[in-house]
Amino acid sequence: QVQLAESGGGSVQVGDSLRLSCTASARLFSSHAIGWFRQAPGKEREFVGGLRWNGNNPRYADSVKDRFAISRIQNTVYLEMNSLKLEDMGVYYCARRVGSPTTAASDYNLWGQGTQVTVSS
């Protein structure tokens, strides 16, 4: 059974950068997509961005476009976050689905445990 593990979270200040990692315990395929989501306290889990395992079809939420970038090297998908804002704070999850990345969390059937990102002013 494939597992996903996020890492790289931490405490940063507004304007800082942070890189999150999502490592798959086994090989994934080009038919898979990895999505990044985040959840702030009291809020629903929201889509941040995602791409196909072969690197195709990248997409981002409007709130992070031009600040965040997703890439993959071997079994790890990275979420590079720049110019962090207070509203970027939350627990970040990566998840897998078959097909292109979509924005609905319910479309994904495999999730990591999450990594906390704290942004302070």
Read off the pLDDT of residues 64-110 as tens digits, 9 standing for 90 and up. 999 999 999 999 999 999 999 999 999 999 999 999 999 999 999 99
| Tokens describing residue 111 | 């999730």
Confidence tier at 15 by pLDDT (50, 70, 90)? very high
Cα–Cα distances (Å) from 23 to 16, 18, 77, 110, in that order, read 23, 16, 6, 12
Span 52-71, pLDDT tens digits? 998 888 999 999 999 999 99
Q: What residues are paired with 37 via a beta bridge?
A: 47, 93
Distance CA 19, CA 34 (A): 16
